Amino acid sequence: MRRPDRLSQALGRTTSRRALLLGGVQLAFAGGLALRMRQLQVDQADQFRLLAEENRVNIQLIPPTRGELFDREGKILARNSPSYRIVIVRENAGDVQDVVARLSQLVSLDEEDLIDAIEEIRKSPPFVPVTLADRVSWDEISKVAVNLPALPGITPEVGLTREYPQRGDFAHVVGYVGPVSDYDLSQIEDPEPVLRIPRFQLGKVGIEAKREDVLRGKAGAKRVEVNATGRVMRELDRREGEAGADLQLTVSADLQNYVQARLGEESAAAVVLDVDSGDILASASAPSYDPNLFVRGISVADYRALNEHQYRPLANKTVQGLYPPGSTFKMITVLAALEEGMIGTEDTVWCPGHLEVSGRKFHCWKRGGHGHVDLVTSLKRSCDVYYYDLAVKVGIDKISAMAKRFGLGVKHDLPMSAVATGLAPNRDWKERVRGESWRVGDTANASIGQGYMLSSPMQLAVMTARLATGRSVTPRLVKSINGVEQPSGAGAPMGLNENNLRVLRRAMYAVCNDRRGTAYGSRIIADGYRMAGKTGTSQVRNITEAERRAGVIRNEDLPWERRDHALFVDFAPYDRPKYAVAVVVEHGGGGSKAAAPIARDVTLQALYGGTPPLDAYPTKDRDRIAAQQRALNQPPPDDRPDGSDRA
């Protein structure tokens, strides 16, 4: 009997352990469930409440107000103007076709836009507003408002759109905005949600694009209650956005208007710099275009006309255009030789009309030559042989290094589109890029700004400002952001021999004021305002030996695209430099004929702060200048919102 008792006791102990284990598991499960319920109901209550609320609350973005642009005197260059539009809500309209027909009797509706709107109405939910007409005039909005009882579902609305009151005069500086495209979004790594707001505008070119970061501002937001179908029932709260910053530019609207008008119908560019601060006072590229055409999307016909124009109105020639600098580069060549101590200012070179280098003749522009010339005479009369001879002594590497010190072959940090670097070539460049060895003949070509040398009008203006001051002047376009002054471009001393610079300035003065100077015909005669400058003519075609023997064909007898480029640079006043000017006239022929007269007029306009007196000009020019002033000094563009160009 004792054995069964022991078995019973063993079985009892086993049963107790199992019961305890099972009870423990059940207790642990119940505890975990209770813990999870507490976590869901207490710890995460706010999160689930928000998830539930999101079923009926939406957050919508409020577009920020874009910052405006002003010139240095506070004149508006880009502003936000009221834009009126007419929208329709399908569920309130009833018979959409009938309502649109009645509306068309009051407002002119574009047929293509109307077709697109009808298609959008068909695809959109019935309560979503669809735009039927945009940029509607105030008169048309008034007509619609008066007739609203007969136009169910129609609502006139007002918004903001970008407007450029100066139109073409600032197109290449300010640029323009336009609707955000799929391409724009694809170029941005992580596009902000505000960019997906319908009709939102984004900077496309110019300072509008380059300073988009400060002009755009920050979007606001509003919380709205919606029903199950997505209809907005009411607004719960809103947080206003942050407006974009206002930018004051360094440019002068009055001077820019004049320069643009003075360039006229030429394919040309002009830059005016303040040599004390580096401020860009004018940056004009001709011909220009009306940026207002792009704000809502330019038509195919208008864009084709601009894009296929022979004079390239869409290109900003001041920073994007690259040209052989021609004889305007000669100051760099001679300064490289002076700084190396290879020549003296009184040393002369014999010019018989050509110089033979490595078995090849390099010709001077004057077929019979200039005879014995020193530094001042060579620059004054623009003798090419003097610089061929210098270049062979100095070498391209030192010339290239000096060019870069003066801002040539350097990409300046400017908030403008397509700023070009230009080219100040040396031996390494040719070997690396073209896979060829540098030749002495390349150096001879480079010494007079030909061959591989390329520079923009902006770079030439910077070069001239540095020659005038001896400081590393850098161009500045933004004067202040929301009233905060931006760093000056005055620059530090360049560490050059002041005596060498003084001789170069005297030679540039002779170019304009000596009777044998190449720019004497475009001189300023007013005391205290005289300028120092340099003409330049850069070839765009090769002249064969046969043509030289027969007589070089005149520019006037060549097709426009084969004529030489005309260039001129100057600073003034000579004895206390204030402004530096660079002008390039594409295929204009000689610099003294085409570019120098424009530069002289622009320089005087800057010096006098307006129309200069006739006695600042040579007597023989005054009648012509008076007529020119009457033609050019028209009132600036008015403030009409239609964006039409000035006549």
How many Å from the N-terminal Cα to the C-terminal Cα in the chain?
Answer: 129
One-letter amino acid of 548: R
Q: Are 470 and 339 in contact (CB under 8 A)?
A: no
- Rounded to whole angstroms, how far apart are CA atoms 606 and 616? 13
Q: Are 600 and 592 in contact (CB under 8 A)?
A: no
* 400 belongs to the catalytic site: no
Catalytic choice (327, 400, 417, 538): 327
Pairing of strands 130-136, 76-88: antiparallel
Which residues make Cβ contacts (< 8 Å) with residue 509, sequence separation at least 6? 530, 532, 574
User: For 27, what's the count of Cα atoms within 13 Å in the CB-facing half-sphere?
Assistant: 6
Backbone φ/ψ region at 209: left (φ over 0), alpha (ψ -120 to 50), beta:
alpha
Reduce the DSSP state of residue 541 to 3 states and report it: coil
Looking at the DSSP assignment, which residues form a beta bridge with residue 161? 81
Going from the C-alpha of 72 to that of each of 79, 164, 272, the distances in angstroms are: 15, 16, 14
| Rounded (10°) angle between helices 253-263 and 596-608 | 160
Q: Could you write out the DSSP letters of every residue in 441-463? A: HHHHHHHTT-TT-BB-HHHHHHH
Quick one: DSSP state of residue 592?
I
- Rounded to whole angstroms, how far apart are CA atoms 122 and 100? 14
- Rounded to whole angstroms, how far apart are CA atoms 337 and 390? 7
Active site (catalytic) residues: 327
